[in-house]
Amino acid sequence: MSQLSTHILDTALGKPAVEVAIRLERQIGESWEAIAQGVTDADGRLKDFGEALLAAGRYRLTAEIGQYFAETHRETLYPSAQIDFVITQNGGHYHLPFLISPWSWSTYRGS
């Protein structure tokens, strides 16, 4: 089983994005099942997803960044950002951060 963590950095401000809701889903057949959710902390991090240890499979993380930008009084093009990823084998740690601004977002596999 693998572990997962994430964080969100607001690159326009150079600060962590605080209190952003994040949902983790796993693909089961043709549908998606929500398996965990959380909110970023004061450092913009969600260090774990509770008891959710991930077996090999396809997953997606969805960060509700539109609400974050609304609360910081900024217009944005993106109501959410989503990372669709595959864990090919059990074991290891996956750190998948979001780098966001009102007009773009990106990700990478961190450590």
* 10-residue mean pLDDT series, the chain (111 residues): 89 97 96 95 89 84 98 96 91 91 96 81
The CATH code that applies to domain 3-107 is 2.60.40.180
pLDDT of 48 reads: 77
Give the single-character DSSP code of 20.
-
pLDDT of 88 reads: 86
Give me the phi and psi of 87, to 5 degrees please. Answer: -100, 115
pLDDT of 90 reads: 73
pLDDT of 35 reads: 92
pLDDT of 92 reads: 80
The single-letter code of the amino acid at 4 is L
pLDDT of 49 reads: 79
pTM, to two decimals: 0.91
Name every residue whose Cβ is closer than 8 Å to that of residue 28 and which is 6 or more positions away in sequence: none
